[in-house]
Structure 1
Amino acid sequence: MTASRTRLVGRALGVVRPILVDKVERDHQQSDRAFRYRRVVVAVTLVVGATLLGLSFATEQGDPVFYALTLGLAATWTVGSLVSGPLHLGHIEILGARRRPVVTPILVGLALAAVFVVGALVMREIPPLAAFAESVLGYARQGNLPLLLVITLVNGIAEELFFRGALFAAIGRKRPVLISTVLYALATVAGGNPVLVFAAAVLGVVVGLQRRAGGGVLAPILTHITWSMTMLLVLPQIFPGS
């Protein structure tokens, strides 16, 4: 039994290490001038994006303005990222071969979603926490689901382009996972919901580790959109609503 558990743990680590731990060699050096420029663009984008996020959650649920603001938010993250400087997709090494991360990040997103589903089952039994969750889910219940799916997809991609792309690169080599996660969570504070802040912090750690390991945004994007799309479809079924 012990040997079986050891093999199981070894296999699990073999899957996790390439996507979250082992750093792939890369050469993404920037000149000092380009680095300073990126930091300025990132700072401006962060302020504008956080403002739009706060405004979007200040709208009435079901208000068409919400869609315009969230699409504007995605455009802000995307434009800021692309203007700041070059971004990279990244690689992982599996069985000695370097390849683009595709399947593994999706599995990580599903696993993370499963953890959040378990957490949601606990939260719904705690009225104050359930109320915070309901305040967010109301946008899903009273909105256009196909449009919300598109917005969730687009914003997930845009957030990773910025936070694990441009912002991560603007931080430098000292604690980029921690700093990018803290800034991601702080930007979410503008939404006024502690549940969203907590979710951003947890997600930020996972995708931040992916960014550090693979050197690019592809893995974080795939994990983020897998997680967020699953949450959008599953959470309204867990919470009863008003």
Structure 2
Amino acid sequence: MSRAQAVALATLVLGTGALAVLLRLEPGDPFFVAGGLAVALLWVGGALAAGGVRVAHDGTTLRAALLGVGAGAAAAGVCLAAGFVVAHVEVLREPASDVLDHARADTALVVAMALVNAIAEEIFFRGALYDAVPRRLAITLTTAAYALTTLGSGVLLLTVAAVLLGLITAGLRRLTGGVLAPVLTHLTWSVAMITLLPDVLAIGR
């Protein structure tokens, strides 16, 4: 195992545990925002320690940005459509609503923290971790690892969304050669989920 792989693995284990604790906090818990920022620092610190990341290949910045925003909007559309179905299934709806209740407790700070984490997660998962694993398995392994980090939340909808988002962002990393497109995809998706999904899930209540 190379140094980059060892650092990436250690960061993945620590980050998964920290995220599981964070997502199980009660809405309004004063530690939620600070804890979220700490998790973001963990992802970024691990990525830098593992060797850093590439933003995009030369000459592809605008294309990567457009692809990222477009893919994020498409992913959000799929998740919101699924949300209409989940809204009528209480066992799936309530855990997802509980996580989103954090945004209702302190919208501005939670949204800011979520966006910081979106950037940090892409820097680690589609940056350092992607570079640390064999290229032929990078999409599969980084997507599986990303989905694994959400299991501790106990929210099935979040894990399913992580698989979809992981596949899209890893595909964009391969296509564009850097993390710019994945970051913009994740940011676009996150904003839509925080601002729109709560109202969609409320339909079933």
Structure 1-normalised TM-score? 0.79
Give the secondary structure class of the aligned counterpart of 1:62: coil
Q: Are 1:224 and 2:186 matched, yes or no?
A: yes
Q: Are 1:99 and 2:60 matched, yes or no?
A: yes
Give the secondary structure class of the aligned counterpart of 1:168: helix
Say if 1:105 and 1:220, in contact at 8 Å, map to a contact too: yes
Cα distance in 1 for residues equivalent to 2:134 and 2:176: 16
Equivalent residues in 2 for 1:150-189, closer than 5 Å: 150-189=112-151
Q: Are 1:128 and 2:94 matched, yes or no?
A: no
**Displacement after TM superposition at 1:239 (Å):** 2.3
Cα distance in 1 for residues equivalent to 2:72 and 2:200: 19
**Displacement after TM superposition at 1:51 (Å):** 1.1
Q: Are 1:52 and 2:18 matched, yes or no?
A: yes
Say if 2:92 and 2:155, in contact at 8 Å, map to a contact too: no
Query: 2:153 maps to what in 1?
Result: 191
Q: 2:75 aligns with which of 103, 112, 116?
A: 112
The number of equivalent residue pairs is 202
Stretches of structure 2 lacking an aligned partner (at least 5 in a row): none
Q: Which runs of 4+ in 1 moved over 3 A?
A: none
Query: 1:205 maps to what in 2?
Result: 167
**Displacement after TM superposition at 1:86 (Å):** 3.1
RMSD: 1.6
CA deviation string 1:123-170 (max 9, x = no partner): 1012222122212122122x2111011101100000000000010111
- Bigger Rg, structure 1 or 2: 1
Percent identical among aligned pairs is 37
Cα distance in 2 for residues equivalent to 1:237 and 1:188: 22
**Displacement after TM superposition at 1:203 (Å):** 0.3
Cα distance in 1 for residues equivalent to 2:111 and 2:124: 20
Give the secondary structure class of the aligned counterpart of 1:174: helix
Cα distance in 2 for residues equivalent to 1:197 and 1:121: 17
Higher helix share: 2
Query: 1:239 maps to what in 2?
Result: 201
Give the secondary structure class of the aligned counterpart of 1:175: helix
Question: What amino acid does structure 2 have at the position aligned with 1:108?
Answer: A
Larger RCO of the pair (alpha carbons < 8 Å, separation 6+):
2
Cα distance in 1 for residues equivalent to 2:16 and 2:52: 23
Cα distance in 2 for residues equivalent to 1:220 and 1:73: 19
Cα distance in 1 for residues equivalent to 2:149 and 2:202: 29
**Displacement after TM superposition at 1:91 (Å):** 3.6
Question: What amino acid does structure 2 have at the position aligned with 1:146?
Answer: A
Cα distance in 2 for residues equivalent to 1:57 and 1:223: 22
In structure 2, relative to structure 1, the CA distance for the partners of 1:54 and 1:38 (3 Å cut) is same
